[in-house]
Amino acid sequence: MVTMTYSVMRLLFPVLLVVMAGVPGAVYAEQEYEVVASSDVVFQPLNPARGDASPRAGALWGDIRQGVPSGVLIKFADGFSSPPHIHNITYRAVVISGTVHNDDPNAAAMWMGPGSFWTQPAGEPHITAAGYGAPATAFLEILDGPYLVRPAEEAFDNGERPMNLSSGNVVWLSSEDVTWIDQSEESADGDGPKIAFLWGSHEAGQDQGTFLKLPAKYSGTLQGNASWIRTIVIKGRISHQIPGKTGLNELTPGSYFGAKGSLGQDVSCLAEDECLLYVRNKGKFSLSPIRR
């Protein structure tokens, strides 16, 4: 098993830059839209001395070295395992590929596959590991930084509790259950989009995170209502377009697109199977079908 000593863990993330070059229309006028294709994310080893065994991180937005909200992709080597440690802040994460175990140092391994979600409260001792057989990739976000790693001996209770939600245990809601998604026009196979609430509050101005599942060939307009709405592709291929602008972005798992305030974004699921998105915003968002 690939392990990492505490001396390796005691660090800030290195410089993590969102590289926009090569992404069609990656940054638009007045920073109203952002698009980052997974193929354009630049990854930095957390500990270059460990070579390929070191986890690597690449920024999607923000800077986890600073006191700002941030989102990054983390890549783990096949069989990676950290020592017990804590973080100074709470983070939330979604498995994109491979399998990940994140739990109390004494807990039996519970491997979470793509589409699984977990939270790690500040001050809670834990280990993070990747399963054998393939590297693992996860999306990780924080509401404030900097993101620091500390020894387990400095553990504290901030009142939160960790949560591991395997993809098979996600509870999905349709337009019959929530008003956020408009299913008045169904997709080609008769199925419609679905939503799963993960964390936070849906009250205006409050932070929240949600899964959004789109059936194959579905096209709709995604719209927030405050601050930034930020979306990460977890599964499938997405066609992304800004209404009124030319050019399409074809986005694969690990890609990110965002819009400021109530600006809309047109998204289509290009995959033969469903597409899974993680949506991060304040309050509610809406999804309505595009009528051709």
Cis peptide before 193 (omega within 30 of 0): no
Same domain, 226 and 100: no
pTM, two decimals, is 0.88
Same domain, 50 and 117: yes
Q: For residues 192-203, give the mean pLDDT.
A: 92
Tally of domains in the chain:
2
Mean pLDDT of 200-226: 91
Is residue 117 located within the same domain as residue 196?
A: no
Chosen domain end from 113, 141, 164: 164
136 lies in the same domain as 201:
no
DSSP 126: B
d(CA 220, CA 208): 21
Do 233 and 247 lie in a common domain?
A: yes
pLDDT of res. 22 = 31
Residue 230 has pLDDT above 60, yes or no: yes
Phi, psi of 144 (to 5 degrees): -160, 155
Is the model's pLDDT at 172 over the cut of 70?
yes
- The 8 Å CB, 24+ separation contacts for 194-199 are 196/170, 196/171, 196/172, 197/173, 198/92, 198/117, 198/165, 199/92, 199/119
Q: What is the domain range of residue 281?
A: 170-289
Do 60 and 18 touch, CB atoms closer than 8 A? yes
Q: For residue range 104-148, what is the model confidence (pLDDT) as tens digits?
A: 999 999 999 999 999 999 999 999 999 999 999 999 999 999 999
289 - beta bridge partners? 220
Q: How buried is 231 (Cβ within 10 angstroms: 0-12 exposed, 13-18 middle, 19+ buried)?
A: buried
CATH number of the domain enclosing 196: 2.60.120.10
| 206 and 101 assigned to the same domain | no
For 140-168, the pLDDT digits (tens) are: 999 999 999 899 999 999 999 999 999 99
Query: Which is higher by pLDDT, 16 or 96?
Result: 96
Q: Cα 83 to the chain's mean position, in Å? A: 24
Higher pLDDT, 168 or 21: 168
Q: Are strands 256-260 and 149-151 parallel, antiparallel or unpaired?
A: unpaired
Q: How far apart are CA 253 and CA 238, in angstroms?
A: 9
